[in-house]
Amino acid sequence: MLIQSVRLTFAPENADKGESTLRELRDASRKEEGVNSYDVARSKDNPNVFVVWEVYRDGAALQSHMATEHFQRLVMSVLRSMASDLSIEVALPID
């Protein structure tokens, strides 16, 4: 199993568009083979900050996810250009 955590910060004027784009990405990603879970949350204290928690069967499933049409369209073309800050952490579960 492989976990990817993504934190995105948007300017206030882009936060609602960021949320709708992340919802679309979440819904499409949950249908992919190899995606165990895909959750999006909006910060309670700072509504411009979002956290995405992705759990994949393995590294191949993550690579497959990044090659999908919806990832390329929503992440590479929309979210990356709108986010004022973006951090990604890939992690392995501990036993």
Q: What is the pTM of this model?
A: 0.95
Reduce the DSSP state of residue 32 to 3 states and report it.
coil
| pLDDT tens string 39-83 | 999 999 999 999 999 999 999 999 999 999 999 999 999 999 999
Rounded Cα–Cα distance for residues 12 and 61 (Å): 33
| pLDDT tens string 3-39 | 999 999 999 999 999 999 999 999 999 999 999 999 9
